[in-house]
Amino acid sequence: MLKLLFTISIKAFIDKQAGSAFLLVDAFFQNLHEETQIMSYTMKVLEQVIQKNPNEPEFHQALTEILSTLQPFVDANPEYEKAGLLERLVEPERVIMFRVPWVDDAGKVQVNKGYRVQYNSAIGPYKGGLRFHPNVCLSIVKFLAFEQTFKNSLTGLPIGGGKGGADFDPSGKSNHEIMMFCQSFMTELYRHIGPDVDVPAGDIGVGGREIGYLYGQYKRLRGAYENGVLTGKGIAYGGSLIRPEATGFGAVYYTVEMFKHFNEEIRGKTFILSGFGNVAWGAALKITEFGGKVITLSGPDGYILDEAGVNTPKKIAYMTEMLASRRNKVEDYATKFGVPFFAGQKPWKVKGDVAMPCATQNEVLMEDAEAMIANGTQFYVEVSNMPTSNEALEHLKQNVRGVAPSKAANAGGVAVSALEMSQNSMRLGWSEEEVDAKLKVIMKNIHDASAASAEENGFGYDLVAGANIAGFKKVAQAMMQQGTV
């Protein structure tokens, strides 16, 4: 009941009615006070952080999803409240915002806003990607950094949580303009990062080209070859094999482990994917290798339906060509291979066994979840960050056989980033087989830890709750042991 009320409350924020939504949340907590007299510690913290951070709907959504599942575990451990653990956990250690001036090819000065949220360093240096996209704002960067803290904990590797980016749109920009922007962005960011402080990586709009320009400027400013300061680098200057594919590969490895619970396998199943970037590309590669069939890809312009399957080397390679073109149009695939294109639509009404959102946050809403269920979707695997509204996620959990949460299923990317950090520290490089073997073990461990935590805390095989609890436990333990900092 409490979780449903959380979901109803946060949905109002996502509807972008900030003023009325805040009143709704306030009324919700007032009514809850009257009904229960004593509000739980977890709920009190959630109320406080929403009131202190108005007009941040994505951040509120992430907090609600995580804290609502943590409530039984946290409330059973009163030492957390005494130590003010949650109040510290929900507050970023540092938020950095800065202007990014640059000159375009026409000689005109442009100015964007840059961000870096260093959320939690209890178990390691801040770690998380940089996103260049017009919708980047403080709320989105905070939600990503908060989620990243738990995701990184799940990997079992010594990395804390952080995220950053800018409201810069790389689409349609020349290489020179991209370089100018990246150099200006790093001219401020370099003061706040380092191999043992904060290690950014790529995300939406930031690929190998951007990482190269960012590192080149960092090296020039620092006067030192500290290639461990960024991950997702080119192999020539310290990158790791499998890093571009890692998020998609990891999601499929996690799905394999989830399928074992249901005595299922990937072979013979159809997959509905959104996106066509590195994440979807990696997933399509590994699904095809394991005998599954991807039949949709999507972009901002709509989706394609390839009933024969995105399953040949030529088709999968073309995904990387589309990404490199910076046109950001999945229609190009339809034109190239003569398959149907559905402009302005999402792929979730297409019938398939497994749905895998691989694009961006909140791409799956309640109407999309209902369409999946009506089409007989059996499994739902979140591969992009928080792709599902809380309401839709609850509905899917109740109506499909298995749901894999993003902070667990898409942890393969950051896991291989951490392996890249290890290789840089040791001044060596591992083979593709070595990195892939380590990734498989990490994804299996994430699944097993999530399943065990869910079972131990009365959630059955709820991998969403299990991932939240498993990720939280390690961070909480480190914070308790390090004192009030």
Please give the positions annotated as active site. 163
Q: In whole angstroms, give the CA distance from residue 117 to residue 181.
A: 20
Q: In whole angstroms, give the CA distance from residue 205 to residue 190.
A: 19
Pinpoint the alpha helices (H) of 292-431.
313-325, 331-337, 366-374, 390-399, 406-409, 412-426
Q: Phi/psi of residue 284, each to 5°?
A: -65, -40
Instruction: Quote the crossing angle between the two packed helices 138-154 and 412-426, to the nearest 10°.
Output: 70
Strand order through the sheet with 109-120:
94-103, 109-120, 160-166, 126-132, 198-201
C-beta of residue 388 within 8 angstroms of C-beta of residue 369:
yes
Q: Taking the CA atoms of the chain, what radius of gyration do you get in angstroms?
A: 22
H or E element: which one contains 149? helix 138-154
C-beta of residue 210 within 8 angstroms of C-beta of residue 200:
no
C-beta of residue 420 within 8 angstroms of C-beta of residue 239:
yes
Q: Phi/psi of residue 123, each to 5°?
A: -115, 5
Residue 309: closest CA among 329, 289, 288, 290: 288
Residues in the chain: 485
Cβ-based neighbour number of residue 431 at 10 Å: 10
Q: In whole angstroms, give the CA distance from residue 259 to residue 7.
A: 28
**Residue burial 248-267, b: 16+ Cβ < 10 Å; e: rest:** bbbbbbbbbbbbeeeebebe
Q: In whole angstroms, give the CA distance from residue 67 to residue 63.
A: 6
H or E element: which one contains 296? strand 293-299
Q: Phi/psi of residue 157, each to 5°?
A: -100, 155
Q: In whole angstroms, give the CA distance from residue 133 to residue 359.
A: 13
Residue 273: closest CA among 286, 283, 288, 258: 283
C-alpha dihedral sign at 371, 373, 379, 385: positive
